[in-house]
Copies of this chain bind each other. A is one copy, B any other.
Amino acid sequence: LNRARYLSEDWVYLLLLGSIMSLLALFMDFITENTNKFHQWAYDQADQIEVGIWRILATYGVWTMFFVVMIFLAALLTRLIAPQAIGSGIPEIKTIFRGVILKEYLTMRTMLAKFVGLTLTIGCGLPLGKEGPLVHMSSVVASQLSRLVHSFQGIYENESRSSEMLAAGCAVGVACTFSAPIGGVLFSIEVTSVFFAVRNYWRGFFAAGCAATISRVVTTLLKDPELDFNAQFQTRFPTGKAFTLQEFPIFAMMGFVLGIVGAAFIVVHRNIVLFLRRNDIAKMLFQRYWMIYPILISFLFGTITYPEALGQFMAGRKKFTSTVPDLFNNCIWSNTTYGETCSETVTNSWTGLSHENSIFISLVVFQIVFFFLSIICSTLPIPAGMFISAFVLGAAFGRTIGEIVAICLDGEIESGGKMQSLYPGVYAVIGAAALAGAITHTVSVCVIVFEVTGQIITLLPIMISVIIAVTVCSYLQPSIYDSVIRIKH
């Protein structure tokens, strides 16, 4: 009887964990979607001013001030509520898993700070992700729920059990970020554990499954009655005809290069963090006038991405993550004789205000600028993940390679005697997986990518380039999470 009670409690616990997190994630999505819309709307309003100079001043003001205000608020609230909420959270969870007690990281206060800060950060569209923070939040929920159960039932309290629950919490966190329940379980195991008790495998699965299901049901009921089960970044490559064996060496090379890029990302990130920590001016800035840094950086970010100046070279009107559907698109951006041509809506953002820029300029500028911007933004004192930065940068890299190949081959490739269309979108998906895998040192990114794109036909290319990228990057550098742990301790 006791065992049955113990087990049924487990189920309820995991169901609760999944439900709470999926509702929180949905609520956050709802807010961030609307703040982003508001930003677009305000910008469009300012854009309608007729006198040239005023129009530019107004749009620039609206564009930039939005970032400054949101980030200022995020930094302020995070600092006031709980400074433990700053950053990704995965390094801390990893530390907790290794047996170090970081109690203040698992309080409701931290959770609140993380939620508020993250919502503001994502809501303004900085190139930062919610993955790490959601893992952190989910772990807090798991640990608080644990305590709740324990306070009734003292006998069940034990170390290993609460660590099991924490593991399920991590899985739910990743699952909620991408609606990728299976990839979430695997990713959280790879990132946090050294030894993994297979017997607890189902916990993560069940909790993540609950989260995904509830999220789907709520979306259907509240928002989108015409439900179609599309993935977050649904791709539509044709089954069996999306790539050929001849492209495999290119995919492998991409994995190799992105492994090195991933290592560079980690090195640059570490050096910037260490510089900010050791440099005298930076030190003063952080300790006495800590408000200046977020304001400065968000102002800089707004200025650089302002769509009428530099922003036109990097799809500036689009928020960082909303470039992904473009990058994963079936069509070929460059005008090739064969292959699918793009609709206006896709190419518009990437060819500048009056379509005069080459897409390659946009793609390269986009990659260089956001490589540094996403690293710099991640040093802000706000909750912020870095997985999605790598994902988008990798996708842009892949799209670039794919477009080059498409131009070289004029949009077609031979496969078994027949010609078939080339898909630069496949390259983008592979690039996204490879770079995200490289900086996190996880091969389970493959599964996340399948779930995020809703297609598994790119199985082999993704696996090959992820394995190569992860291997190359692990030889060169520790993972981004281990790097942060080393900086901190």
Contacts and interface: CB of A to CB of B under 8 A. Distances in A.
Q: State how many copies of this chain the complex holds.
A: 2
Contacts of A358: none
A324 interface: no
Interface string A219-232: 01000111111110
A242 B225 contact: no
Interface string A237-265: 00111111100100000000000000000
A198 B201 contact: no
Interface string A458-487: 011001100100110000000000000000
Interface string A430-453: 000000000000010011001100
B456 A225 contact: no
Contacts of A202: 443, 467, 470-471
A156 to B, nearest CB: 20
Interface stretch (A34-42, A102-110, A188-196, A307-315): A188-196
A131 to B, nearest CB: 19
A226 B459 contact: no
Given A195-B196, A198-B196, A459 B464 contact: no
A95 interface: no
B226 A467 contact: no
Contact of A197 (B195, B226, B463): B195
A85 to B, nearest CB: 27
A61 interface: no
A209 interface: yes
Interface residues of A, number: 60
A181 interface: yes
A417 to B, nearest CB: 6
Nearest to A240: B228
A94 to B, nearest CB: 12
A451 B456 contact: yes
Given A240-B234, A450-B450, A457-B454, A467 B206 contact: yes
B182 A447 contact: yes
Contacts of A194: 197-199
Interface in A388-434: 415-418
A239 B244 contact: no
Contacts of A217: 245
A205 interface: yes
A213 B467 CA distance: 13
Contacts of A450: 450, 456
A245 B230 contact: no
A467 B205 contact: yes
Given A212-B463, A450-B450, A459-B451, A226 B195 contact: no
Contact of A190 (B201, B236, B244): B201
A44 B240 CA distance: 33
A136 to B, nearest CB: 20
Can you list the 4 inter-chain pairs with the closest CB atoms, starting with the nearest?
A226-B416, A228-B240, A225-B416, A230-B240
14 contacts: A189-B198, A193-B198, A195-B195, A195-B196, A196-B196, A202-B471, A206-B471, A209-B467, A212-B463, A216-B245, A229-B459, A229-B460, A451-B459, A454-B456
